[in-house]
A and B are shown apart, each in its own frame.
Chain A
């Protein structure tokens, strides 16, 4: 039961360059699945949409709604591809961990990539950095700096802390939800393997929790995308 992680330390002799190979594997798998599904969905595009194209357009409209809720469409359309990729990537990543966890040679290889704090924080930091970048690019450096002293100058320290807090909460919220889900799922799996009564007692909660995890996975993907757009819009919008 005591599964480890396939970690490689100090690649190329660089002290901080560690790889959790299962994360690398799952990142590649998730990216591949998202890419293949998206490209399959975008095949044979027609004026009258059918089948997969309908699904693609529904997702696009859904994400477009998220972007539209947080900023006006003129700047929002810049971030639509980012929001779409975030949403689909996180959604698929969440689902992969809910469907199954795979163990090979005592190491956990198959899990949600989003159940790792490093990965979610990377995504969160990327979003926050992008928000700063576009804030400067779209509104100019002066306005960007001025924003730290609005609405009142003495709020500057709080504003500064807010940036880091945003990064942490954005990343850790996703990680926490997914990680908790997987912990509980593996506990229930452990329970079902303890015997007949354990199986009976564990199977039904397992099913229920799996359903709930799917729900949480969808919600968290939505929340992550939504909040990313909110943070970006704080930086790029004139007034809020």
Chain B
């Protein structure tokens, strides 16, 4: 009961209080909005924008990096292919050269062989020619000898053999 009497005096409406409350609340609303919450809200908005732009930038750079990596891979692949091609070319060129060399060697050998055969032929012909000349002169000689003396068949044979032998020795 005691408390009731204490606070009964506090209750009741006072027009002045209401006006003061309204005035101070509106003043507070204005001042706090201007000096405290306004700047805080601005800062939060700024941060939000900053974060958003940062995310965008990160996304962009990520995409760029991805693109660059793709390009690099592409290039590497290209280079590998090129290298492969060069090696292949070199190999075929080597094989071709080898064959060329073999071919030319074979041709050279063929040529040498041919010329050697030619030489042999020439030599042989020369020898035959020389022999023929000898034979001719010998026949003349034999004929003159036959004419000089009669010869028996035996003697003749003997003579021919002798001369043939002579010819052989002469050579």
- Residues of A near any B CB (own CB < 8 A): 1-5, 7-8, 11, 16-20, 23-24, 27-28, 31, 34-35, 38-39, 41-42, 45-47, 49, 53, 56-57, 60, 80-82, 84-85, 88-89, 108, 111, 113, 115-119, 121-123, 126, 179, 182-183, 186-187, 190
Q: B3 in the interface, Cβ–Cβ < 8 Å? A: yes
Q: Are B14 and A56 in contact (CB under 8 A)?
A: no
Q: Are B40 and A28 in contact (CB under 8 A)?
A: no
- Residues of B near any A CB (own CB < 8 A): 2-3, 5-7, 9-22, 24-25, 27-29, 31-33, 35-41, 43-44, 46-47, 50
Q: Which of B32, B39, B41 contacts A85 (CB 8 A)?
A: B32
Q: Are B10 and A5 in contact (CB under 8 A)?
A: yes
Q: Which of A8, A17, A111, A183 contacts B3 (CB 8 A)?
A: A183
CB distance from B57 to the nearest CB of A (A): 16
Q: Which of B10, B13, B15, B35 contacts A39 (CB 8 A)?
A: B35
The residue on A at minimum CB distance from B29 is: A85
Q: Which residues of B contact A183 (CB under 8 A)?
A: 3, 7
Known: A38-B32, A108-B10, A183-B7. A18 touches B21 (CB 8 A): no
Q: Which residues of B contact A42 (CB under 8 A)?
A: 35-37, 39-40
CB distance from A13 to the nearest CB of B (A): 13
Cross-chain pairs A/B with CB under 8 angstroms, 27 sampled: A3-B6, A17-B16, A19-B14, A19-B20, A20-B17, A24-B17, A27-B17, A35-B31, A35-B32, A38-B32, A39-B35, A42-B35, A42-B37, A45-B39, A46-B43, A47-B43, A53-B40, A60-B40, A80-B37, A81-B32, A81-B38, A89-B25, A116-B11, A117-B12, A118-B17, A123-B25, A187-B2
Q: Which of B7, B15, B16, B37 contacts A179 (CB 8 A)?
A: B7
Q: Which residues of B contact A4 (CB under 8 A)?
A: 9
Q: Which residues of B contact A41 (CB under 8 A)?
A: 36, 40
What's the Cα separation between A49 and B39 when bound, in Å?
13
Q: Which residues of A contact B15 (CB under 8 A)?
A: 16-18
CB distance from B17 to the nearest CB of A (A): 4
What's the Cα separation between A23 and B25 when bound, in Å?
13
Closest 4 CB pairs of A and B: A38-B36, A19-B16, A42-B36, A18-B14
Q: Are B21 and A27 in contact (CB under 8 A)?
A: yes
Q: Are A119 and B18 in contact (CB under 8 A)?
A: yes
Q: Are A57 and B44 in contact (CB under 8 A)?
A: yes
What's the Cα separation between A4 and B27 when bound, in Å?
29
Q: Which of B16, B28, B36, B41 contacts A31 (CB 8 A)?
A: B28
Q: Which residues of B contact A186 (CB under 8 A)?
A: 3, 6-7
What's the Cα separation between A190 and B2 when bound, in Å?
10
Q: Are A81 and B29 in contact (CB under 8 A)?
A: yes
Q: Which residues of B contact A80 (CB under 8 A)?
A: 37, 41
Q: Are B37 and A81 in contact (CB under 8 A)?
A: yes
What's the Cα separation between A5 and B5 when bound, in Å?
12
The residue on B at minimum CB distance from A22 is: B10
What's the Cα separation between A67 and B31 when bound, in Å?
21
CB distance from A74 to the nearest CB of B (A): 15
CB distance from B2 to the nearest CB of A (A): 7
CB distance from B128 to the nearest CB of A (A): 118
Q: Which residues of A contact B14 (CB under 8 A)?
A: 7, 18-20, 23, 118
Q: Are B29 and A2 in contact (CB under 8 A)?
A: no
Q: Are B28 and A89 in contact (CB under 8 A)?
A: yes
